[in-house]
């Protein structure tokens, strides 16, 4: 598949992940040898102690780069997505984490990058969720999520009471430990541990997964991605509540708050090697049996 080539590359990695610093250094040397112009995200620069690097703040990467290469695991790529998506900057992942559903290339196979940079790659879009918390008609907080928006109790022994509405239609009242609202990308993350379905990344759908609900009849619900989802927090709740997007940005909730969730206007553009296959990734990461 012949696509536009990448000449100006931004590098990003997460501090504290084993092997990231070494891989960034090897990647820098490799890309310079290919004649690429490099830019380093400002919080990554300390891992590359070179004076000849062009350092950019995260929100300005698109001004110079046409590709963001992220070194780390899926958590690192989530961080990168929050930066790259509003800038419409394509992202390529180098896996230094554990599972790595989103990061395709291993550090010992950096030669795969050569063909990608020359335009031989698969490009895939993933949608995100936009979350708004409202209280008495006022917006309290907003955020985006590539994986999921999660409602949680502040006390492990207390359940949460809430109502679910979809496109203003009442669905159900729930009493549960929490609720996961997930994209197809997030369906192999926290939602999977909670018993949610695996959604193919190209499905235009959102799954709602209650966490340990106080009823045996509760099951995950899959709705169209353009649905307007509202979670109404009951005023009967007596425990502190919180909502997070991608497990990173947590906000406390007041009883009587509403969480409004819908599809975000921008997409994540993921770059894969030409031999990328989603089902191969599932089989490898989840330990499914191979056919002989």
Same domain, 163 and 277: no
Same domain, 147 and 60: no
Domain presence at residue 1: no
Percent helix, strand and coil across the chain, each rounded to 5? 20, 40, 40
What pLDDT, on a 0 to 100 scale, did the predictor assign at position 171? 98
Using a 10 angstrom Cβ sphere, with 0-12 exposed, 13-18 middle and 19 or more buried, the burial of residue 26 is: middle
Using CA atoms, how far apart are residues 17 and 292, in angstroms rounded to an integer? 35
Look at residue 269 and tell me whether its pLDDT is greater than 70: yes
Q: Tell me, what CATH number does 15's domain have?
A: 3.40.50.10330
Phi-psi region of 192 (alpha: psi -120 to 50; beta: other; left: phi over 0): alpha
Domain presence at residue 229: yes
Using CA atoms, how far apart are residues 237 and 253, in angstroms rounded to an integer? 11
Residue 142's φ and ψ, nearest 5 degrees, are -140, 160
Those residues whose C-beta lies under 8 Å from the C-beta of residue 189, and which sit 6 or more positions away, are 74, 101, 147, 148, 182
Q: For residue range 110-161, list pLDDT tens digits in order.
A: 888 999 999 999 999 999 999 999 999 999 999 999 999 999 987 766 899 9
Domain tally for the chain? 2
Residue 102 Cα to chain centre, angstroms:
9
Same domain, 71 and 113: yes
Residue 132 belongs to domain spanning = 128-265
Same domain, 151 and 255: yes
Look at residue 87 and tell me whether its pLDDT is greater than 80: yes
Higher pLDDT among residues 211 and 291, named by residue:
211
Look at residue 96 and tell me whether its pLDDT is greater than 60: yes
Same domain, 135 and 239: yes
E strand or H helix that includes residue 182: strand 178-182
Using CA atoms, how far apart are residues 152 and 63, in angstroms rounded to an integer? 38
Our answer to whether residue 74 is catalytic in this structure is yes
CB-side exposure of 287: number of CA atoms within 13 Å?
A: 1
pTM listed for this prediction: 0.93
Q: Tell me, what CATH number does 224's domain have?
A: 2.60.200.30
Catalytic residue, from 22, 66, 74, 292: name it. Answer: 74
Radius of gyration over alpha carbons of the chain, in Å? 20
């Amino acid at each position: 598949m012949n696509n536009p080539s990448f000449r100006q590359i931004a590098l990003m990695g997460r501090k504290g992940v084993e092997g990231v610093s070494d891989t960034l250094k090897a990647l820098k040397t490799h890309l310079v040898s290919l004649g690429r112009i490099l830019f380093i995200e400002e919080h990554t620069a300390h891992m590359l102690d070179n004076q000849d690097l062009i350092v950019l703040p995260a929100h300005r990467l698109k001004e110079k780069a046409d590709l963001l290469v992220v070194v780390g695991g899926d958590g690192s790529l989530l961080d990168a997505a929050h930066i790259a998506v509003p800038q419409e900057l394509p992202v390529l992942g180098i896996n230094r984490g554990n599972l790595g559903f989103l990061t395709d290339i291993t550090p010992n196979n950096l030669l795969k990058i050569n063909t990608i940079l020359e335009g031989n790659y698969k490009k895939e879009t993933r949608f995100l969720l936009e979350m708004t918390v409202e209280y008495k008609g006022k917006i309290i907080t907003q955020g985006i999520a590539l994986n999921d928006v999660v409602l949680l109790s502040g006390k492990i022994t207390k359940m949460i009471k809430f109502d679910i509405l979809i496109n203003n239609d009442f669905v159900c009242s729930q009493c549960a430990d929490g609720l996961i609202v997930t994209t197809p990308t997030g369906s192999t993350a926290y939602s999977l541990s909670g018993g949610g379905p695996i959604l193919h990344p190209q499905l235009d759908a959102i799954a709602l997964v209650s966490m340990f609900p106080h009823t045996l009849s509760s099951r995950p619900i899959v709705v169209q991605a353009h649905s307007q989802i509202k979670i109404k927090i009951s005023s009967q709740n007596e425990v502190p509540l919180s909502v997070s997007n991608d497990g990173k940005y947590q906000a406390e909730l007041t009883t009587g708050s509403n969480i409004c969730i819908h599809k975000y206007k921008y997409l994540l553009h993921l770059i894969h090697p030409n031999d990328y296959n989603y089902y191969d990734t599932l089989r490898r990461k989840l330990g499914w049996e191979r056919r002989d």
